Amino acid sequence: MNPETRTVPRRFHQLDVFSVVPLKGNPLAVVHAAEGLADDTLAAFARWTNLSETTFLLPPSDPHASYRVRIFTPRQELPFAGHPSIGSAHAAIDSGLAIVRDGRLVQECAAGLLPMRVDGAGPERAIFVRAPDATLVAADDKLPLLNAALAGQARGKLPPALMDNGPHWWVVELADEAAVRVMQPDFAAISQLTLGSDSVGLAAFAFCKDKPWQLAVRAFCPADGIPEDPVTGSANAAIAAWLLHNSALPARHYLASQGREVGRDGFVRVEVDGDGHAWIGGCTQTIVEGSLDW
């Protein structure tokens, strides 16, 4: 008998990431004990949940790792993503798969071994992941596609960039927070841009004045079946790397607001350490806990 034809109960979490208030962050589905499931089965389940990402927890294959995770959008597997990393750490800790030692964990994923930090306890516990170092991708030949995707948008001072920190993100500064908040994205043009540049999405951001947050961010991934992602860790890490490259960080520790345009109110805590590594973090909440007879 094919092992996958047998019903094997597996623990399941659905979490809310990047919010202290339940239902205001970015949802994440987490399947525990995913050993023995074929790649096409993982992909099919991620399409079925239809969330921006679904993760699958596994025992680590590296002795330095606390646990291993695979990350899927409805369209593809990603080497790294922010809110899935933070939410998966939450689930791994709560299930006993991962043991926090001196406030530290190590996540194993397709992007390698990523240090993680756990601050505090209870509902206000914050989990941080050090994102893979982002590199600038040469993409001048894709600028016509980018300009089409941003037609009519008031740009900021920084040039747009395609950044690689596992996934590839277009990061674009708009003129101000209002421009970000009222942006009406052209999903068809953004899909053409991302498919034409092997990227996962476009992240628009602006600096904010006289607010508790320093950046307003929106992220669009329509080609992956995610018209607008509510709160996006990897995009915020890519933006931080581009700001550091341009000596434009608002601070070494700052807060990004994302998700209001889709009925959420998420906050990403962004840190850039002395070695130039971008850390992203936030609070997580368990919304659904149960098992899969799958």
CA angle in degrees (0–180, nearest 5) for 219-222-226:
70
**Cβ(161)–Cβ(173) below 8 Å:** no
Dist. CA 252–CA 274, nearest whole Å:
9
**Domain layout of the chain by residue ranges:** 3-130+282-293, 135-276
Residue 123 is predicted with a pLDDT of 79
Closest by CA position to 86, among listed 279, 223, 290: 279
Residue 8 is predicted with a pLDDT of 81
Place of tokens 């899969």: 292
Residue 1 is predicted with a pLDDT of 40
User: Token digits for 24?
Assistant: 């205001």
Dist. CA 59–CA 78, nearest whole Å:
18
Q: How far is CA 256 from the centre of its chain?
A: 13
Dist. CA 90–CA 100, nearest whole Å:
11
Looking at domain 3-130+282-293, its CATH architecture is Roll (3.10)
User: Token digits for 235?
Assistant: 């995009």
CA atoms 267, 273, 279, 281: torsion sign = negative
Give yes or no on whether 3-130+282-293 and 135-276 have one common fold.
yes
Closest by CA position to 29, among listed 104, 79, 83, 78: 83
DSSP-based three-state secondary structure for 70: strand
Tens of pLDDT along the chain (294 residues)?
A: 455 555 688 999 999 999 999 999 999 999 999 999 999 999 999 999 999 999 999 999 999 999 999 999 999 999 999 999 999 999 999 999 999 999 999 999 999 999 999 999 887 899 999 999 999 999 999 999 999 999 999 999 999 999 999 999 999 999 999 999 999 999 999 999 999 999 999 999 999 999 999 999 999 999 999 999 999 999 999 999 999 999 999 999 999 999 999 999 999 999 999 999 999 999 999 999 999 987
Dist. CA 110–CA 79, nearest whole Å:
4
Q: Which CATH class is domain 135-276?
A: alpha beta
Residue 124 is predicted with a pLDDT of 85
User: Token digits for 172?
Assistant: 């674009």
